[in-house]
Amino acid sequence: MNSTRQTQSQAGPRRPQAKLDELIKKGRPVLPPMSNEPAQKRERPQTVTTIKHISKSVPIEIIPNEIIINDIQPNQAYEVVILVRNLTSTGRRIRIFQPKTNKFRCDYDMQGNIAPGLCMKLLVTFETDKLGNFHDALEIISEDKFNAIIPLHAYQSQSTILFDPFVNFGFIKVQKESTKTITFKNNGII
């Protein structure tokens, strides 16, 4: 009896183990063969020392790149925030040249370098005592001959006409007239 029990106990576990081994072999992923290239020629992952610019286009990002203030009123102050972000992997110093007219002014916190990935806040203010349209520019320079000019515009109240520029007449029979209505809407203050 002992011999039959031993054979049954030995035969029993072998069957499930064999099925388990087959399932494991089928589901095992196949790895690509190892590269024979020397370790020096393999592509290295990008680190802070290998990346020169976070963005490949420009070292400094300026948002917005143009300021337009609409519907100005006399003796009213208007403020717009500009963000200047450093896209390089090293700190950058920037220099800001104030607008030439006294209507626009740029205020900012004097700090040393702008750290990589961080931004500096510029506050552009506009104030006038007369109505009119005003234009100026703000200049930002940095190392590596980076130079950006941000146009500044302030417009008095004016009408803004909105309309659909496309009129679809569809199919029209020869020698027949067709009319369509176009709606004009003044979205401005005047």
Where are the domains positioned within the chain? 60-156
Choose among 93, 120, 122, 119: nearest CA to 105. Answer: 122
Reported pTM: 0.59
| Chain segment 117-130, per-residue pLDDT in tens | 888 999 999 999 99
Cα dihedral 88, 94, 99, 105 in deg (nearest 10): 100
Q: What is the pLDDT of residue 24?
A: 59
**Average pLDDT of the segment spanning 44-68:** 68
Q: What is the pLDDT of residue 109?
A: 87
Cβ pair 80, 124 in contact under 8 A: yes
Q: Is the pLDDT of residue 135 over 60?
A: yes
Among 32-41, 46-55, 91-100, 149-158, the least confident range? 46-55
146 versus 27: which is more confidently predicted?
A: 146
Query: Where residue 110 falls among pLDDT bands split at 50, 70, 90?
Result: confident
Q: Is the pLDDT of residue 51 over 60?
A: no
Query: Where residue 157 falls among pLDDT bands split at 50, 70, 90?
Result: confident
Q: Is the pLDDT of residue 87 over 80?
A: yes
Separation of alpha carbons 98 and 141, rounded Å: 12
Q: Does domain 60-156 have CATH number 3.40.50.2300?
A: no
Separation of alpha carbons 108 and 132, rounded Å: 27
Query: Where residue 23 falls among pLDDT bands split at 50, 70, 90?
Result: low
Separation of alpha carbons 98 and 116, rounded Å: 25
